[in-house]
């Protein structure tokens, strides 16, 4: 019997995404029957607000997960791997924000506005894409309605909340020390100081010189769009902002893709907003898009360096559409399709 008001558990409820998850679930009036908030033993006993109740956080254990129909997981890959077998064994569905299962062949990787139908073939786990992949795949999906995609190159400018609450705290404490004219505390989350700096490293380096984040963007974009052969190269950088990942993107098509048609396709794409009035310095930035559930695109122009090219800029609240909102939309899609 499909569930329309599930019992929900959130693993990682005390984290940067977990907090936004609760706010988005409230805003969207997500139809839940019960809600359990889970984290590590360190957080057990903390109280978190949801609607008009204070919910006591529990340690994540199999006993605590028992009875859940839907489990949102935004913790660590290790936690996702540890609890997935139990969750599936219980007949529940896990919506996972981590990278543990994203590329597994029997795990759909879903952005509801792009490939919502992929939830149909889930076997207990559905992954949400990396927070930089989501807005890019949405824009590319809109653009491919105009002409087939050949090649994508992208540079990202990623906020510290993408790393988690401890990274945001590291930036804050470095900025505070700078403001007071004191020595800046040594980093512990990042390999270098993040305040007043840009780090051309997000995640660890692979043997080919790309970071894991860059490889994720490439592999996930191909999987979501069902375009295994898409030529793709990314450079991901961490910048000293708190919320909002920005991306500079260049796309090559296999044939003519007129700018006006691209603009129209982007404006029609669900979940995407074109914010593009360069004469008045209007374009998306972390500060004018944070708190919004949509992805924003601007600085649209012809890329003169190739035959059929378009360049653009996009910014998205990484905690919302990049994570929590997308996860909740997947749950809504499952309920709508009777697949929970």
Interface with ligand A2P by CB under 6 A: which residues? 11-16, 18, 39-40, 42-43, 60, 75-76, 78-79, 164-166
* Cα angle for residues 288, 293, 294 (degrees, 5° grid): 75
Asked if 78 and 96 count as a contact pair (C-beta separation under 8 A), the reply is no
- Minimum CB separation from ligand A2P for residue 10, in Å? 9
Measured from the CB atom, is 11 or 71 closer to ligand A2P?
11
- Minimum CB separation from ligand A2P for residue 60, in Å? 4
Residue nearest to ligand A2P (CB): 15
Measured from the CB atom, is 60 or 132 closer to ligand A2P?
60
- Reading the block at residue 287, the tokens are 């500060």
- Reading the block at residue 38, the tokens are 């889970």
**Considering 73, 122, 141, 245, which one is annotated as catalytic?**
245
**Considering 131, 141, 236, 314, which one is annotated as catalytic?**
131
CA distances from 122 to 110, 181, 233 (A): 10, 54, 29
Measured from the CB atom, is 14 or 325 closer to ligand A2P?
14
- Minimum CB separation from ligand A2P for residue 286, in Å? 18
Edge-to-edge strand list for the sheet holding 149-158: 231-238, 149-158, 245-253, 309-316, 295-302, 272-274
- Minimum CB separation from ligand A2P for residue 240, in Å? 17
C-alpha span between 74 and 237 (Å, rounded): 22
C-alpha span between 19 and 245 (Å, rounded): 18
Q: Would you call 250 a catalytic residue per the annotation? A: no
Nearest to 321 by CA among 104, 130, 141: 130
Measured from the CB atom, is 108 or 164 closer to ligand A2P?
164
Q: Would you call 131 a catalytic residue per the annotation? A: yes
Catalytic residue numbers, as ranges = 131, 245
């Amino acid at each position: 019997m499909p569930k329309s008001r599930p019992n929900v558990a959130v693993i990682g409820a005390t984290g940067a995404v977990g907090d936004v998850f609760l706010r988005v679930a409230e805003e969207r009036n997500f139809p839940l029957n019960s809600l359990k908030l889970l984290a590590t033993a360190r957080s057990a006993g903390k109280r978190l607000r949801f609607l008009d109740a204070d919910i006591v956080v529990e340690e994540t254990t199999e006993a605590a997960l028992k009875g859940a129909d839907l489990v949102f997981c935004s913790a660590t890959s290790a936690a996702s791997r540890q609890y997935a077998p139990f969750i599936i064994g219980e007949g529940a569905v896990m919506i996972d924000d981590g990278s543990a299962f994203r590329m597994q062949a029997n795990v759909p990787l879903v952005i509801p506005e792009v490939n919502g139908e992929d939830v149909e073939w889930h076997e207990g786990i559905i992954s949400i894409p990396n927070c930089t992949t989501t807005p890019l795949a949405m824009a590319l999906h809109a653009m491919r309605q105009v002409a087939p995609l050949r090649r994508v190159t992208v540079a990202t400018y990623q906020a510290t909340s993408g790393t988690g609450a401890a990274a945001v705290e590291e930036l804050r404490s470095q900025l505070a020390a700078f403001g007071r004219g004191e020595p800046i505390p040594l980093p512990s989350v990042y390999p270098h100081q993040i305040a007043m700096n840009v780090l051309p490293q997000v995640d660890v380096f692979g043997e080919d010189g790309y970071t894991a984040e860059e490889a994720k963007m490439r592999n996930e974009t191909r999987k979501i769009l069902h375009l295994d052969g898409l030529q793709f190269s990314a450079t991901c950088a961490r910048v000293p902002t708190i919320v909002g990942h920005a991306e500079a993107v260049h796309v090559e098509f296999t044939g003519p893709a007129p700018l006006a048609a691209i603009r129209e396709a982007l404006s029609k794409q669900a979940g995407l907003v074109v914010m593009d009035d360069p004469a008045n310095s209007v374009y998306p930035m972390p500060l004018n898009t944070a708190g919004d559930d949509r992805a924003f695109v601007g600085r649209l122009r012809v890329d003169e360096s190739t035959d059929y090219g378009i360049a653009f800029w996009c910014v998205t609240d990484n905690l919302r559409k990049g994570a929590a909102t997308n996860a909740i939309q997947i749950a809504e899609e499952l309920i709508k399709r009777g697949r929970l």
